[in-house]
Structure 1
Amino acid sequence: MAISLNQVILLGNVGKKPEIRVFQDGGLMADFSLATTYSYKPKGKDEYVDVVDWHRVRAYQNVAKTIESYVDKGHKIQVIGQVKNNNYEDKNGVKQYGYYILAERVILLEKSGAKSEPQPQNVENPESMAFNDVPDIPF
């Protein structure tokens, strides 16, 4: 039995305001770019050089809702997820290759308020809510 793992952890800054899409079935998707930076000192030089890598990040459902409410351009965040292939044929029949990061978890690293007022949840019968619907207690 082969064992494998596809896990990515990125810590960086959001490049532009996340694009939020709502699907016909009510599903939610957030799409944004994330910049990560590393530095190195070239041989024979006295100064470090910064290199920026850009990553396309997508999130769905609850993670997308968090991004929609709290993440904006420039925010420092940590993304934990998987690398996903985004290969397709363009309209000319040429194969295009790419990838994106499927965010399974987003950690906000800067204190910032909600971008908009949270919308009240529509719960018809609160007693029928499952125990799993209660948010985690932070202690």
Structure 2
Amino acid sequence: MEINTINLVGRAGREPDVRYFESGSIVANFTLAVNRRSRDEEPDWFNLEIWGKQAQIAADYVKKGSLIGITGSFKIDSWKDKNTGEDRYKPVVRVDRLNLLGSRKESDNNGYSNNSNSSSEIPF
């Protein structure tokens, strides 16, 4: 049996970089910082790639510092460097499911809502 599944919970390291294609596809790329058990250790950083409706949710609601959970699979992107001709590699998590985990207070502070009486549910 072969399984390639990764589950992570952490904070967005930057705003999603969103690209729209003529075909109607959408992709969002950003980083995720996941803390280690010890506060003395640096967090682990992951490159995330999200497609489709989940990418649009990331574009609309994920901000730098947002607490999120993801489920996805691990892959290695590879390409030839245009300047040197060398092979380059980058580990990426292809996200299948994105969960917004931040509290209502965090959402308001990050500008998700201007109305303090509004529901904390996200319309999708």
- Flag whether TM exceeds 0.5 (same fold): yes
The match for 2:56 among 49, 60, 65 is 65
How many residue pairs get aligned? The number is: 108
Residue pair 1:29, 1:61 contacting (<8 A) in 2 also:
yes
Matches within 5 A, 1:32-111: 32-40=30-38, 49-91=40-82, 92-110=84-102, 111=104
Alpha-carbon deviation of 1:37? 1.0
Aligned to 1:21: 19
Residue pair 1:63, 1:106 contacting (<8 A) in 2 also:
yes
Gaps of 5+ in 2: 114-123
1:2-41 CA distances to partner (integer Å, 9 max, x unpaired)? x10000001100011111110111111111110011034x
RMSD: 1.9
**TM-score normalised by L of structure 2:** 0.79
Q: Equivalents in 1 of 2:18, 2:50: separation in Å?
A: 10
1:67-102 CA distances to partner (integer Å, 9 max, x unpaired)? 111111100000100001111111222111221110
Residue pair 1:35, 1:52 contacting (<8 A) in 2 also:
yes
**TM-score normalised by L of structure 1:** 0.71
Alpha-carbon deviation of 1:58? 0.7
Moved more, 100-109 or 89-98: 89-98
What secondary structure, in the 3-state scheme, does the structure 1 residue paired with 2:35 have? strand
Alpha-carbon deviation of 1:65? 1.0
Gaps of 5+ in 1: 41-47, 117-134
Q: Alignment identity in percent?
A: 29
Aligned to 1:10: 8
